[in-house]
Structure 1
Amino acid sequence: MVDHGTTEAPGDGTVELEIHEVIETGPGQASVAVRCLRGPVFLDAGFTQLSGSARAIDLKLTRMVEYGREMPQLDPVHTALVTLRGEGVQHLRSSARDTGFQVVQGANAVP
């Protein structure tokens, strides 16, 4: 088991989602099973960093479903099916024993 440290959003507003499974990808979007590592994460959060990759991403969280219900936010340690849209969805991958988990990092949208 990997220790991911604190589950609260750091003072800089960073939010993180750990990717467990990429369910489906399409042109510019992906449905992904995730666990919230730092948050809460709100709809319209933007993600610009992907662990284990130097490739640029620019993803926006457009949908969150937790236990069959649409949710406006995802709190730390909770899991959900989310939709990410934008540049870089093709770089997302499901977790595997030999490669571990990818983490997308970004910030909530400014109201």
Structure 2
Amino acid sequence: MIGPAGPGRPAEVVELQIDEVRSASAVEATATVRCILGPVRRGARFTLVGDPAQAVDLQLVRIEAWGSRFVEELDPVHTALVTLRGTGIRLLRSGAPHSGWQSIRGVNPPL
């Protein structure tokens, strides 16, 4: 378990695979991702990136799927353009066939 999800509730562990980091500043990044473990909801907090895992503190603030439709969650195997904010943005990298794809792991916000 990565962290608490609320009183008496186990954390819902979620994972996104980074395909392409499209833009990044010191505290925000926009990336194309695929949901590996979820569904991942807006507000999810990611605390681990890569393999070996490195600590980050990123929050999922926007999910844009199916063209330009903003959604509240992303189901497994679907892709979307997401915006992440927090510390550790510099650790995010685009995937490539020769180096593999990076994943970020965390938990959904409490319901």
TM over 0.5: yes
Matched, 1:63 2:62: yes
Name the CA distance, whole Å, in 1 between partners of 2:52 and 2:30.
Answer: 20
Partner SS for 1:60: strand
Name the CA distance, whole Å, in 2 between partners of 1:38 and 1:97.
Answer: 21
Cα deviation for residue 27 of structure 1 reads 2.8
Gaps of 5+ in 2: 1-9
Name the CA distance, whole Å, in 2 between partners of 1:13 and 1:92.
Answer: 22
Q: How many residues align?
A: 101
Name the CA distance, whole Å, in 1 between partners of 2:42 and 2:13.
Answer: 14
**What are the Cα deviations for residues 75-110 of structure 1, in whole angstroms up to 9, with x where unaligned?**
000000000100001100000122100000000011
Q: Percent identity?
A: 45
TM-score, scaled to structure 2: 0.85
Gaps of 5+ in 1: 1-10
Amino acid at match of 2:98: D
Partner in structure 2 of residue 6 of structure 1: none
The structure 1 segments of at least 4 consecutive aligned residues displaced by more than 4 Å after TM superposition are none
Matched, 1:105 2:105: yes
